[in-house]
Amino acid sequence: MRDSHKNDRANARTREKGLWVMKTSTKALLGAAGLSLVATMASAATLDDVKARGVLKCAVNTGLAGFAAPNDKGEYTGFDVDYCRAVAAAIFNDPNKVEYTPTTAKDRFEVLANGTVDLLARNTTWTLSRDTTLKLNFAGINYFDGQGFMINAKKIPGVNSALQLSGAAVCVQTGTTTELNLADFFKANNLQYNPVVFEKLEEVNAAYDSGRCDVYTTDQSGLYSIRLTLTSPDDHVVLPEIISKEPLGPAVRHGDDQWLDIVRWTMNALVIAEELGITQANVEEMKASTNPEIRRVLGQEANSKFGADLGLSEDWVVNIIKAVGNYGEVFERNIGSGSPLKIARGLNALWTKGGLQYAPPIR
């Protein structure tokens, strides 16, 4: 292991210890109500823990088709799931060494804080308070999203803008940025609304599908997915307004820089592979490329130590791409043209193709 990482870990452990002392007294002060605040007792040496355990623990959705949902064999698949699989491939050269914890919007942060999982890969928006109060580190943005509205056009005909929704009953899931943006949007536009709030996705979906709400609001990516589960998807229209920025990405706990590096560079490797035309099908033959950047990324240069510096093997990128393909392949297979959702790349196209997906270099 690199010395700086050893120091990071030692420092992180000291911080953890200090935190525990502080937390113990906080616990006494806060009593039972403070328990959820003081639950962080996970070790900082996440990579060592994951290796020793032989499996990566990943928090995902309870079931949002395209992003993370169990298939008919009960195996989790989807865009977010592929990030868990990619990290497992980088560590174990085996994308199946993942244990999934289904989480609601409300309980997702607690399972990361208390060490039940190593990684949160669940359409989670990167915000300042999640960095600071919840003590998360976001590895980057793997999906540039925004909040939208869906309506049942049969129930409320003639509505083609969210500005016509005054007085509407709006279905929303609690514990989300969605709930907060919804309040902001109606306040900013001087409109009234009746929030119909649930903790579980299936409850929100059922309430909307049964006509209890006029409007469903969530990340636009979520609307595409949920629309397909409704009794008559064609009756439902997504309105044009995008009322927020929802930069989604995988997150880890504060206090383990090496682990953050591994998750972050797994994400970057997926985008870099797409930039370089490295695919699941050609990655083996690309190892023989004479292009220095491709050789470097695939660990083929003599004395390569990028993998070792992360605590991984030199073929970590080869293993990631063999397991899940590059960013574009992960996108198209799960939520894009190769999926029922058919989401366009849009902002999630590579920066070279008019989008925002851009990764710092491996060098």
Residues in contact with ligand GSH by the rule CB under 6 A = 61-64, 104-105, 123-125, 173, 176-178, 201, 218-219, 222, 246, 248
* Intra-chain end-to-end CA distance of the chain, in Å: 19
Q: Which is nearer to ligand GSH, 105 or 113 (CB)?
A: 105
3-state secondary structure labels for all residues of 63-95: CECCCEEECCCCCEECHHHHHHHHHHHHHHCCC
CA distance 351 to 345: 11
**Least Cβ distance, residue 130 to ligand GSH (angstroms):** 8
204 token code pair: 């929100």
CA distance 280 to 247: 26
CA distance 59 to 189: 36
Q: Which is nearer to ligand GSH, 105 or 335 (CB)?
A: 105
Q: Which residues contact 32 (CB under 8 A, 6 or more apart)?
A: none
CA distance 240 to 89: 39
Which of 49, 98, 90, 91 lies closest to 70, judged by CA?
Answer: 98
Q: Which is nearer to ligand GSH, 229 or 289 (CB)?
A: 229
Q: Work out the number of other CB atoms within 10 angstroms of the CB of residue 133.
A: 11
CA distance 10 to 17: 11
**Least Cβ distance, residue 176 to ligand GSH (angstroms):** 3
**Least Cβ distance, residue 64 to ligand GSH (angstroms):** 5
Q: Which is nearer to ligand GSH, 40 or 123 (CB)?
A: 123
- Burial code (b: 16+ CB inside 10 Å, e: under 16) for 242-257 equals ebbbbbbbbbbbbbbb
